[in-house]
Amino acid sequence: MTVTIPGILLGMKKNLESMVFSNSFVEELPGDPNLVNSVRNVSKACYSLVQPEPVGSPKLIAYSEELFAMLGIGVAEKTGIAVDILSGNLVLGSMKPYAARYGGHQFGHWAGQLGDGRAITLGEILNPEGSRFEIQLKGAGETPYSRRGDGRAVFRSSLREFLCSEAMAYLGIPTTRALSLVSTGDMVMRDMFYDGNAELEPGAVVCRVAPSFLRFGSFEILADSSENDILEKLLQYLIRHHFPEYGTGKEAYARWFYEICKRTALLMVDWQRVGFVHGVMNTDNMSALGLTLDYGPYGWLEVFDPSWTPNTTDFSTHRYAYGKQPEIAYWNLTCLASSLLPILDKKYIEEGLSIYAPTFNQAYHEAFFHKLGFLEHNGAEDEILLGELMSLLVAVETDFTLFFRLLIDLPFHEELTTEDLISGFLPAYYDESYKQESYKRQFGSWIRKYRQKTQKQGLDSLKRRELMQRVNPSFVLRNYLVQEAIDMASNGDYSRIAELMDGLKNPYADLPEHKQFTKRRPEWARHKPGCSALSCSS
C-alpha cells in the first residue's frame, strides 16, 4: 500500500474524474425539500441535499492504493482534478451530494436528531465486480445537521481515522474504509480537551468508503418521529441493495434483524480479540451492516485493563470501556429493536435479540482459545484456564498484544524455572510487579496447566504456532505511534505515515523491518495527550 509521496498508479482502468456516480439513496428515498444549507430540524426525510464547501489549498497526503484498485480507479498527482474531488472542491455532474439524517442514543440517553454534521456523501460507485460503494467526505463543511459545529475536521483526527480504518481492514475486521487523506490548507479552531484552550489547527478531509453508512440511528430517528412509512421504505432499501437474497416483506425484515444481531456479536468478538476499544459506542455509531463505524476517540489495549476507555468524555462512567463493549452492543441492539416495533412483530425482534448472547459466547471462546493455540474447547476446565489468565494479565501491568504474541514462543520441551519462564515475557511488562512472589506462584501454576493442556491436545508445534499467529497480531495501531506520525506531519514529514501503513499491511507477521512498532508503549507516552487518551473533539 502506498500512502505518502503519491505518484502515478499504474494499471488502473479509470481516473476518478471520469467515473460515473449513481445515487440510489437519493433517488429511492424521500429527501428534505428545503435546499437551504442551514442548521435546522429535518422531518419526513432520510437526507438533505448539500454541497461540500471548497477548501483553500488541497493537497493529497495519503491514499490507499489497494482501495483505489478495488474501486477500479486511480490517483495521479498530489494536486489536480482528482484531489479537488477528494477535498470537496469539485462536484461531478453525476454526483448528488447529501448529508444523512439520523438520531441516536449517546452515553445511554436519547439525543434526538444528530445526522451527518461534517460528512457529505458524494454518491455511489460500482466497482469492476459490480459491488456498490458509497463515497463520503468527512470534514467537507457544514450541513443542516452540524448543530454547533463548523463541519470541518482537523488533521490529527483525520489521520487517525485514515490509519485506523485501514488497520482494521488488514486485521480482517469488518470496517468502513479510508480512500484518501487530503490537507486543506485551512486552519480549524478546536478545543481538544474541552478545557477552554481552543487553538487553530490544520484542517483535513478524509474520503471514507463503505457499502453503506446506514446506522442504528438512521432507523431510530424515524421511529421517534413516528415516520413509520419512511422507516419501512428505508429498511426495504437496505434489504434491496445489501440483502437481496432475503426477498421482501416481514420475513425479510426479520432475517435482516437476526443477521445484524449476529454480525454485531461477531464484531464485538473481533474487537475483543485484538484489544480494540471503540470509545464512543453510541447508537449513531453502530452500523446497519455490522461494520466498525466512525473512528473518534478509539484506542488499543496496552496494559490489559477491562475498565479502560480511551475517551476522556467517558472517564466518569467508563460506559464504553473494553470489557463493557459486548453488553453495550446488545443494549444498542435493543434500541434498534424498539425502533423497528412499528413495522416488525415483537416475536421476530425477540428471536433476533436471543441469538446475540450465544453467538457472542461461542465465538468469543473460540477466538480466545485460538489465541492460546487450542483447536478445541473442552468446557468448564478450559474456561477456568482462560479466566485465570485474564486475572494474571490484570494482576500486573501486562501488555495485551505482546503477551499473546510472546506466548507463541513459549518452550514446551524444556524444564525451566518459573523465573526463566517469566523472563520470556519481560517485553510485555510495564513495571516490575511481576517480581512479586504471589504473582510468580500464580504465573507458574497457570503455565503448568497451560503446557499440560497444549501437550494433551497433540497439536504439533508448527501447527500450533500457525494457529496462534493467525489471530494474535504483532502490530496494532497504538495511539502513541499515530501521535508520533501526527507530530512529524506537523513539520512536513509524512514518512512515518508510510512506515505505519507498510507495517499494517501484514499485522500478523513478525515484521523485523518494523520492530520498533511492535514494542510496548514507551513510558513517556503514558500520560501524553494523544497517546493515552482522546476526546470526542475532532
Q: What is the pLDDT of residue 467?
A: 93
Q: What is the pLDDT of residue 13?
A: 59
**Average pLDDT of adjacent 10-residue blocks, the chain of 538 residues:** 36 78 98 97 98 97 94 78 96 98 98 98 96 97 95 97 98 98 96 83 98 98 98 98 96 98 98 98 98 96 97 94 98 98 97 98 96 87 94 97 96 82 96 96 94 85 92 97 96 96 95 94 93 76
Domain segments of the chain: what residues? Answer: 14-212, 218-302+318-367, 368-471
Q: What is the pLDDT of residue 381?
A: 87
Q: What is the pLDDT of residue 77?
A: 67
Nearest alpha-carbon partner for 78 in 87, 67, 69: 87
* 285/300 Cα distance (integer angstroms): 18
CA 498 to chain centre: 20
Name the catalytic one among 32, 270, 284, 314: 284
CA 25 to chain centre: 23
Contact 255, 246 (CB under 8 A): yes
In this structure, is the dihedral angle defined by the CA atoms of residues 76, 175, 398 and 467, taken in order, positive or negative?
negative
Q: What is the pLDDT of residue 383?
A: 92
Contact 171, 192 (CB under 8 A): no
> What are the DSSP calls for 148-204, one per residue?
TS-S-EEHHHHHHHHHHHHHHHHTT--B-EEEEEEEEEEEEEE-TTSSS--EEEEEE
Q: What is the pLDDT of residue 76?
A: 57
Phi/psi region, residue 228 (left: phi>0; alpha: psi -120 to 50; beta: rest), is alpha
Q: What is the pLDDT of residue 335?
A: 98
Cell numbers linked to 311: 475517551
294 assigned to active site: no
Q: What is the pLDDT of residue 273?
A: 98
The structure's pTM equals 0.95
Q: Between vectors from CA 218 to CA 44 and to CA 32, what angle results, nearest 5°? A: 30
**DSSP-derived secondary structure letter, 84:** H
* 532/248 Cα distance (integer angstroms): 48
